[in-house]
Amino acid sequence: MKEEIYPGKEIYDSEKTGFRESSAGKIQAKIILAKCPYAYSKSDNLFGMRIQRFGSDWKRTWAFKIDSERAHHEGYDKERSHGTFNPTGEYPGCPYCGTINLAQCACGKSFCFKTEGESRTRTMRLTCPWCGQTGEYSATETLDLQGGGY
């Protein structure tokens, strides 16, 4: 698992020997993978999404293009995550098409998708760019995402 943990603020503890690290100030973040079905080249449609833990859920904070070799080298293809994965206000969206929408296929992989106009339908017919399976996708609050299997 490729996970980043950033140190929190140092707090002065007069009862002990000086400074100590506050565990409450730590930021937990990692990278999950997705594909864009709208990219010009279907061989170069992989992207990474940085997710950060906020309370008990994960939020998408950043997205970037990445090739499968680099993703494998970094261990992103082995990542498994469970949560809501809602975007933060700063999340730029898919680096290929700009959408913030995220779907999960029965194969366990995630991909972005566009909606028609302002339509927020609860069910859509989509094709997974990972496995090619087409099906009806419904809105959900929680996803179980996994990497790998380019």
Q: Burial level of 133, CB count in 10 A (0-12/13-18/19+)?
A: exposed
Length of the chain: 150
CB contact at 8 A, 77 and 2: no
Q: Which residues pair with 92 in a beta bridge?
A: none
Q: Burial level of 138, CB count in 10 A (0-12/13-18/19+)?
A: exposed
Q: Which residues pair with 18 in a beta bridge?
A: 13
Q: Give the model's pLDDT for residue 78.
A: 86
DSSP single-letter state for residue 72: H
The whole model's pTM is what? 0.75
Q: Identify the residue with better confidence: 59 or 9.
A: 59
Q: Give the model's pLDDT for residue 60.
A: 94
Question: pLDDT exceeding 70 applies to what percent of the chain?
Answer: 71
Residue 139's pLDDT band, with cuts at 50, 70 and 90, is low
pLDDT at 8 exceeding the cut of 50? no
Q: Alpha helix locations (H) across 1-150?
A: 68-74
pLDDT at 129 exceeding the cut of 80? yes
Tens of pLDDT, residues 13-54: 444 444 444 445 688 999 999 999 999 987 889 999 999 999
Structure tokens given for 85: 């994965």
Q: Give the model's pLDDT for residue 70.
A: 95
Structure tokens given for 147: 């990497």
Structure tokens given for 22: 């506050």
Residue 82's pLDDT band, with cuts at 50, 70 and 90, is confident
Q: Which residues pair with 144 in a beta bridge?
A: 82
